[in-house]
Amino acid sequence: MTSSFSNLLLAEPLARAVAEMGYETMTPIQAQAIPVVLSGQDVMGAAQTGTGKTAAFSLPLLQRMLKHENASTSPARHPVRALVLLPTRELADQVAQQIKLYAKYTNLRSTVVFGGIDMKPQTLELKKGVEVLVATPGRLLDHIEAKNAVLNQVEYVVLDEADRMLDIGFLPDLQRILSYLPKQRTTLLFSATFSPEIKRLAGSYLQNPVTIEVARPNETASTVEQHFYSVADDDKRRALRQIVRQRGITQAFVFVNSKLGCARLARSLERDGLRTSALHGDKSQDERLKSLAAFKAGEVDLLVCTDVAARGLDIKDVPAVFNFDIPFNAEDYVHRIGRTGRAGASGLAVSFASGGNDARLVADIEKLIKKKIELEPVEFEEDRPRGRINDGRRHWREEGEAGDARDVLDQPRERRDADARRGGGGRPHRAPAAPRDPFFDKPYEPGQPDATPAWEAAAKASTPGRGISSNIKSKRKVPALFKSAEPS
Ligand code: AMP
C-alpha cells in the first residue's frame, strides 16, 4: 500500500493545499480511509483525534464534491452538501479550520456553527450558502429550527467522535438531525471505540460500511521523565514555580481537577508573574479560543486546564505536563502525559500528590501503568540552608486509604457531562445522557441514563498504559499514548 499523497491523484487544488501544509506521507487512517471514501462507500472508522482523521475524511469528500463544483455565487446554488458533526465547540472549530485549509484553493465554501456564542454571525454565513457545514448538534438544531440551515441536499455526513456524542447525550439530537437528511448519501462514522452503542448507531445509519481500524497510536516509545512529588496543597504553587524555573520550562499544560481550581490557579500563577491562561468549561467560547490561540502562538507559557477542556485539542508536543491535581481517573493521567514526549522528543511529567484521596488515585495510576510509583519530596530552594524539606513528603502508601474514594471518583463524570453538554450548544432541555435503549422506538424522547456510559466502558476496555516499562525516578521510556487527544 502506497502512502504518498502524490500517488492519490488528488485534484490539483487539494494537492496544492496538502503540499502547502507540508504533508508528504499519509497517516495510517488516511491511507486506509481515503480510497474507500473516494469509492463512495460508507466508513466506520476507529481512530482518535491526532491520527490525521480530519484529512482522512475531508480530502476525499472535497474531491468528490469538486466533481460537481458550482461556480455560481448565488446562495441557493450552494446548498449544504457535506455535514460534519462533532461533540464540542473546540473540536468543531478545529476541524472547520482544517477543512478551510484543505479547501483553500477550491470554490467550496465552509463554515462552522457551535453553541455558546451569538447565532447571528453564524446565520449570516449560512445564508450566504455553504457546501461544507461543521457543527455541534445542539446549535445545528437551533439553526435548523430557525430555518437558517436546510439539509435536504446533504450528500455526505460525518459523525466524528461519535462515542463522545453519545456519552454526552446527543443521541436524540443526532436522530433528529439525521432524519432531515436524504436517505441517499454517504455516511462516515468515527469513534475512538466500537462500543455496542456505536455499532447500533452504525447499524441504523450506515449502509454496508467498510470498517477501518488503525492501531492505537500509543505503541511507539518516547521519552517521558515522570516524577511524583509529595507536596502539601499550600506548597504546590511554589513547587510548580520552582520546577518551571529550575528546568527552564518554556511551555506546559497544568492540569487541575475542577473548573474553579483551574480559574483560581491561573489567576494566582499570573500574579506570580507567569504568563498563564486558563481553559475550562465556564469560560466563554471567545475566551477559550483566545487562550488556545495565545498558547499556540507562544504568548502564554502555562495553559491551566481541566481534562474536559483539554480533550481533543490539537496541541502537539509540549515540553512538560504538570498534574497539579492527581487526576480522578488513572486513564486521564495517561492522556494528560501523552501530550508530552511525543515522537521521540523528551518530555517531563510532574505530578503533585498531597493527602487524602491522592493515595488511592496514585495507586490506581500505578496499577494502570504497571509501574511502581515513588513519591519524591520537594526540596525548596529557600529552605535549603536549614536543610529542611517540605512537610508534605511521604510515600503515598503511608497516606492510607483515607476518605471515600467514591465521592471523588463520581465527581468527574458529572463534571465532564456538564462541561461537554454546555459545549454542545447549551440547550438545557436536552437529554442528560444516552438513553439505555435509544434506538428509534421513540426517536426524540430521552430515556433513562445508561447504567454504564460508553466512556466508562471504553475506559475499561482499553489498556492505554500497556507496555510502560520504566523507572519512575529516572528518564524512562513511555509509549506516546495518544497522538493528540484523549479518547472518550
Ligand atoms: P487530526 O487527527 O485530523 O486532528 O490531525 C492531527 C494533526 O495532524 C493536524 O495538525 C494535521 O494538520 C496533522 N496531519 C494530518 N495529516 C497529516 C499528514 N499526512 N502528515 C503530517 N501531518 C498531518
Architecture of the 224-377 domain = 3-Layer(aba) Sandwich (3.40)
pLDDT tens per residue across span 214-266: 755 433 234 678 899 999 999 999 999 999 998 888 899 999 998 889 989 99
Which among 4, 7, 27 is the best mutation to test ligand 1's pocket, defined by most ligand atoms within 8 Å of the CB?
A: 27
Q: How far apart are the C-alpha atoms of 479 and 464, rounded to whole Å?
A: 9
CA of 483 to the centre of ligand 1 (A): 10
pLDDT score at 342: 62
Task: Judge whether 233 and 352 are in contact, CB under 8 Å.
Answer: no
pLDDT tens for residues 138-180?
Answer: 999 999 999 999 999 999 999 999 988 998 889 999 999 999 9
Closest by CA to 340, choosing from 228, 253, 249, is 253
Q: How far is the CA of 99 from the centre of ligand 1 (A)?
A: 11
The alpha carbon of 185 and the centre of ligand 1 are apart by a number of angstroms equal to 26
Q: Whose CA is nearest to atom 13 of ligand 1?
A: 52
Ligand 1 centre to CA of 312 (Å) is 13
Q: Hey, what CATH class is 5-213 in?
A: alpha beta
DSSP letters of 125-185?
HHHH--SEEEE-HHHHHHHHHTTS---TT--EEEETTHHHHHHHT-HHHHHHHHHTS-SSS
Residue to mutate, 21, 100, 188, ligand 1, most ligand atoms under 8 Å from C-beta: 21
Question: In Å, how far from its chain's centre is CA 414?
Answer: 18
| Statement: residue 43 has pLDDT above 60 | yes
**pLDDT band at residue 345, thresholds of 50, 70 and 90?**
low
Q: Cα dist. 85→89, 163, 313 in Å?
A: 10, 12, 16
Query: Are 5-213 and 224-377 equal in CATH topology?
Result: yes
Domain limits of the chain? Answer: 5-213, 224-377, 382-421, 438-482
Question: Distance, CA 427 to ligand 1 centroid (Å)?
Answer: 32
In the structure grid, which three cell numbers stand for residue 95, read together?
476541524
Q: Are 324 and 254 in contact (CB under 8 A)?
A: yes
Sign of the torsion formed by the C-alpha atoms of 356, 378, 467 and 219? positive
Summarised one tens digit per residue, pLDDT across range 47-95 is 877 788 999 999 999 999 998 665 555 666 679 999 999 999 989 999 9
Give the pLDDT of residue 153: 95
Listed residue (431, 44, 450) closest to 214, CA to CA = 44
| Ligand 1 close to Cβ of residue 341 (< 6 A) | no
Q: Quick check: CB of 317 below 6 Å from ligand 1?
A: no
CA of 55 to the centre of ligand 1 (A): 7
